[in-house]
Structure 1
């Protein structure tokens, strides 16, 4: 076994909700990053992945459990850990050279040494000749290269990458990922361990020696899978496609079964997060499933490829369809149920009726809103009490997101309406 660099044991983290009570974001997280490995962390938005990275970097502390770096307790920012962010996080008034030198300057490195080390890092990451450029003069891929050079210039033992490729277009992200792997496998990077947080399943399989799948509410490691394939890996090879299928199956395990399998579709608690799925996208996926070549059943990786949806876009749609009993998710496949087929074959009015019926039966939040409106003589209520209810189990931005989805679904199913000017929810006329 390679030597551990970072170790987390039974780590927990809570934040204060609007009502002052704690909300667990992480719970009993066990994780070890060892020398010579790349680990990918996959999970839904809001599962606590970014919080976990910040704990590993020493930017925030854990409320429970222990975090050690090279066997020593981590109480603050670790000098051997660097982080690359999704948003580039460059200072727009500084040149490429100056942005890369920042970390060294903060550590008191002399000007001559700063310049020499920054130049080498810029060359390593493929940006020679752009030392004097400002961020606005660079493409998105080049700006992210600057962020990576800035992280590598301090010669970290651990590189944490928080959605580092997700803000880039597909081709740019793939090229940057391949360049990073080439440097890593060629031994040109000072880094001894990399942790990549991602929403992209193919990216995780192409990069990592180990994939962790995070559960939500609270965040915790649900599954772990080792990948023994040598790099570079061929994304179209049978072995890689099989691994991608396996990760999809693990990611969607428990998302819901319904219809043909004879199982029960999932039901949510009142304050559970709803899948952030758009109605038009849900209908498009159902219609695609209904026709050739799928004929009611699709492999999720194949469906993502054909629709050009990211995993972060497709998986919530699959979860939403399963929740409403229009499809079932099992072993990485999405299958239309009899009800889903009926939905696709119906006219618009019948679709709304079916959607509304399933919404009231499967989503307690929607049923609660409808019941509350029916108790009011005016048939309308402000959104505030429903937001307050949701904030008892989640933070304010999540509560607003969940209510927004519930309102969108409720309007489509003609269960209730919403006035965007008055912010009142009311019964349909």
Structure 2
């Protein structure tokens, strides 16, 4: 794990004097991967969520953000370490915690009122109805109490999800990418309203933690941003700006840049002296067209571009942009200087060289710097007729990846190899064939 030193820590002045609500102590979580191989998602993670703060858990897809949130909620028992709520060990579901999910998770046969009341089992009927109506009022769904989920827009369904969580009057509200399934304008509206409720003290919640891969969202919402990767916390940012925050302020962009620097701090560089294994050095999930588009965009801006500015200009989130950046860096087409992507000489030549010269450049770089592409070419070259089934490569990849990840790794390698005219792929028979 890459260590990142920042001016302040999770236990610095921002949280001095505040009561700890949820504490995680050396928490680890391991699942069974492909063919029963252990897959460690969290490895010795420690942090504390304090009274009066919003914490964003930021990171790429698959880095363990949602797993960490579920461990905090007591939905998953950690394989190592411990979780405490207000200083007491957690056994089962964490007391005083409610959760909002990405997928709304409403029961289609219940009305809004019925879905919200689900969080109040065991409460007397009159009190349950009063609290449900209050929660529906808080999230702005008055008049829709008797509506069914199919009658609601995506934004209204997510409001119902918030009401179902808030009706329990939780100490801690945990949110797993609650805005990612919504269109941009609806998500912006809900984020703004959530912050207004938080600032006005309109509900009982004392602290919130939100999983996101949207760096701008993290800077807009959070008092602290924890950047996850490699099974742990790679770094932390403390946001001391008052709300609402100005997206155009230099300090806002500075925080976004800092988050990008942490996220990109452990890039595979494609060093020829360390070729690595395709089971260790995974290919970034980026098609050639996206890599070419990024290179063209950066070249047109003087061969260098700030990642946060680039993401804002393109309307990309971290999960959209970073795999493409990773691929360009891995191949040797670009390099990163802090949070700035800079085209290398080979990147400029590839962008300007035309179709066939560009293919030749890409083929050489992919062979030299992409472990899985190189492994496939060696295997095909050593076969009797230069042909092997994709099942052969998937069986190898499953030793280090899940079934879905193995397929995506192979598909990316095939895409790169086809573009560089290094190999052909017979999708009907599932055969990879060495190019003539």
TM-score with structure 2 setting the length: 0.92
Does 2:273 correspond to 1:273? no
- Counterpart in 1 of 2:333? 326
Matches within 5 A, 1:168-183: 168-183=182-197
- Counterpart in 1 of 2:257? 245
Unaligned runs of 5+ in 2: 1-15
In structure 1, C-alpha distance between the alignment counterparts of 2:253 and 2:310, rounded to whole Å: 13
In structure 2, C-alpha distance between the alignment counterparts of 1:286 and 1:113, rounded to whole Å: 60
Contact 1:257 1:266 in 2 (8 A): no
User: Once structures 1 and 2 are overlaid, which stretch shifts more, 112-121 or 302-311?
Assistant: 302-311
In structure 2, C-alpha distance between the alignment counterparts of 1:6 and 1:132, rounded to whole Å: 36
- Counterpart in 2 of 1:198? 212
In structure 2, C-alpha distance between the alignment counterparts of 1:270 and 1:284, rounded to whole Å: 25
- Counterpart in 1 of 2:233? 221
Contact 2:34 2:400 in 1 (8 A): no
In structure 2, C-alpha distance between the alignment counterparts of 1:329 and 1:268, rounded to whole Å: 20
Does 2:361 correspond to 1:354? yes
In structure 2, C-alpha distance between the alignment counterparts of 1:422 and 1:256, rounded to whole Å: 33
In structure 2, C-alpha distance between the alignment counterparts of 1:181 and 1:194, rounded to whole Å: 11
- Measured on the aligned residues, the alpha-carbon RMSD in Å equals 1.7
SS at match of 1:40: strand
SS at match of 1:214: strand
Contact 2:272 2:369 in 1 (8 A): no
Does 2:70 correspond to 1:54? yes
Deviation at 1:329, TM superposition (A): 1.5
- Counterpart in 1 of 2:82? 66
- Counterpart in 2 of 1:377? 384
* Counterpart pick for 2:31 among 2, 8, 15: 15
Contact 2:85 2:95 in 1 (8 A): no
Deviation at 1:266, TM superposition (A): 8.4
Deviation at 1:221, TM superposition (A): 0.3
User: Once structures 1 and 2 are overlaid, which stretch shifts more, 173-182 or 298-307?
Assistant: 298-307
SS at match of 1:164: coil
Deviation at 1:100, TM superposition (A): 1.0
1:148–1:28 CA distance, 2 compared to 1 (3 A):
same
SS at match of 1:142: helix
- Counterpart in 2 of 1:397? 404
Contact 1:121 1:149 in 2 (8 A): yes
SS at match of 2:29: strand
- Counterpart in 2 of 1:231? 243
- Counterpart in 2 of 1:134? 148
SS at match of 2:182: coil
In structure 2, C-alpha distance between the alignment counterparts of 1:223 and 1:268, rounded to whole Å: 26
Contact 1:253 1:330 in 2 (8 A): no
Deviation at 1:269, TM superposition (A): 3.0
- Counterpart in 1 of 2:7? none
Deviation at 1:20, TM superposition (A): 2.0
1:358–1:179 CA distance, 2 compared to 1 (3 A):
same
Contact 1:319 1:329 in 2 (8 A): no
* Counterpart pick for 1:307 among 305, 311, 314: 314
Deviation at 1:22, TM superposition (A): 1.5
Contact 1:256 1:266 in 2 (8 A): no
Matches within 5 A, 1:65-214: 65-105=81-121, 108-214=122-228
Name the count of aligned residue pairs.
419
In structure 2, C-alpha distance between the alignment counterparts of 1:257 and 1:417, rounded to whole Å: 27
Give CA deviations for 1:217-259 in whole Å, capped at 9, x if unaligned. xx2001011111111111112221221122122222232669x
- Counterpart in 1 of 2:414? 407
Unaligned runs of 5+ in 1: none
Give CA deviations for 1:60-114 in whole Å, capped at 9, x if unaligned. 1111111111112212112311111111111122211111111213xx1222222
Contact 1:257 1:327 in 2 (8 A): no
- Counterpart in 2 of 1:38? 54
Deviation at 1:40, TM superposition (A): 0.5
**Which 4+ runs in 1 deviate beyond 4 A?**
263-268
